[in-house]
Structures are given as C-alpha cells and as structure tokens.
Amino acid sequence: MRTHKAAAAALAVASSLLLAGCSDDSGDSEGTSSKAGGPAREKDSVTVEIKVTGDSPASVYVPGILGTGIDREDLDLDRIKTPWSKTFTSRPGRMINMQAASIDAKSEIGCQVVVDGKVRKEKVARAKPGKTLVSHCSTTI
C-alpha cells in the first residue's frame, strides 16, 4: 500500500512539472494575447446563415442544427419558396451539412453557408436532363 501511495505522489509531481513547463505566459507569440494584454479567447458562438437560391420551390434538409446538446433535431422543410434563409447562433467547430433539392426542377438550385458575414461554402447545381437537381454544402463553422 505504501508503495502505491509513493508511486502516485511521484506521478502527480512529475505531471505537475511537465504541465508547468508547457505554459508560456510571455505573450510574445503572435495571436496568443488580446489587445488588453490577456490571453486570446476563442469566440463562444458564431452567427450562421444558411441560404437556398433557385427558380422553383425546394426541399431543405440540415441534420442536427435545431436545439442544443444531445437534443438536437434536424431541419427538414418541404416546398419552401426560394430564395430562403435561416439565421441562428452556434458554437465554433460544428459541422454544417446542408442539402437543397428542387421540387420542380427548372434551371438551378444553390446553397450557401455564411458564418459571421463571410461565405464559407457555396454551391450551385444546374439542371441536366433526367437528373435530380440537388445542391449540397458542407463546412465546419
């Protein structure tokens, strides 16, 4: 029993020393300090806008964007009038997978993911004879 306690104590001390050696409080590195002199923080949330463009009604499917935690639900809409958009906030690092399909395919359908005002992903699909008109946008926000 005494040996286990001594080994655990030695491991705790070694871990503390290793972790202390990894910190850098100098603030000299580019991008590691904020204007106030403290460490830079990643944003807690971003504003996301998903858009569908086209010349006919569309179906939109975006898995897991409604709700929070494990209770997320899919956005699944039929016969929306284009152009269409939805804005929401989310945490950075989430994956957005968006699919837009034209119900009455005419010439084109497009999808777009905009994060904090900047276009992250955009795709326009053009009609081809005998093909389903679908546009898919996937990006990490």
Classify residue 63 by burial, with Cβ atoms within 10 Å: 0-12, 13-18, 19+.
middle
pTM metric for this prediction: 0.67
What is the identity of the amino acid at 121?
K
Q: Quick one: pLDDT at residue 71?
A: 78
SS3 content of the chain, % helix, strand, coil (to 5): 15, 50, 35
**Which CATH number is associated with domain 46-140?**
2.60.40.2880
- The pair of structure tokens assigned to 52 is 């569908």
Q: Quick one: pLDDT at residue 70?
A: 76
The ranges assigned to domains in the chain are: 46-140
Q: Quick one: pLDDT at residue 130?
A: 76
Classify residue 11 by burial, with Cβ atoms within 10 Å: 0-12, 13-18, 19+.
exposed
Classify residue 106 by burial, with Cβ atoms within 10 Å: 0-12, 13-18, 19+.
exposed
Q: Quick one: pLDDT at residue 39?
A: 56
| pLDDT by 10-residue block (mean), the chain, 141 residues | 41 38 42 48 87 94 85 92 95 94 87 98 90 92 91
Q: Quick one: pLDDT at residue 19?
A: 37
DSSP state of 71: G
